[in-house]
Amino acid sequence: MDLARSTFAKLLAGINGTPIVDRFVLGTEGNIDGDFLAPKTELNGFTSDREMLFSEATGTEGTNYESIYFNTSGVSGDTVTADDGVSTIKTTVSGSDVIYEINIDNMAANGTGTIIFTECAFYTGSEIFSMRTFKGKIKDDTVSLKITWKIMF
């Protein structure tokens, strides 16, 4: 069974093939009624049947959410530049864990100025693979974001 778990981790990360996860999305509507310190929970519609981020359902890209497309090099531990040309994503497989280190450059994901992100998700094509809501993170051209996300099999 351990071999199966590590095989799934490699498939997810695209080690020696096409990655299953190919997009990372940040959004601004993962909070309760504009309280940027109160992340939405299952009581506010954050359930397993969600098909998109809260902000994708209500707004336009660049205002309420930012998509960052990426592809791995096929080698565990390599860092690649995202489609925005400045952010990077390092994908590492360790046993049955996939660890993503996403570095969003200060000049990326700024929308129309200052944004407060409160949700994010990994996508496989057009479908959410994994999603999270959190307390607000302020982003403008003076701030870089580093996000470490571990998926365990």
Look up the domain containing 75 and give its range. Answer: 2-152
DSSP string, the chain: -HHHHHHHHHHHHTTTS--S--EEEEES--EETTEEEEE--GGGT--TT--S-HHHHHS-BTTTEEEEE----SSTT-EEE-TTSS-EEEEEEETTEEEEEEEE-TTSS-TTS-EEEEEEEEEETTEEEEEEEEEEEEESTT--EEEEEEEE-
Residue 70 confidence (pLDDT) = 79
Share of the chain above pLDDT 70, in %: 100
Summarised one tens digit per residue, pLDDT across range 46-98 is: 999 988 899 988 877 777 888 888 777 888 888 989 888 899 999 999 999 99
The number of distinct structural domains making up the chain is 1
Q: pTM, whole model, 2 decimals?
A: 0.89
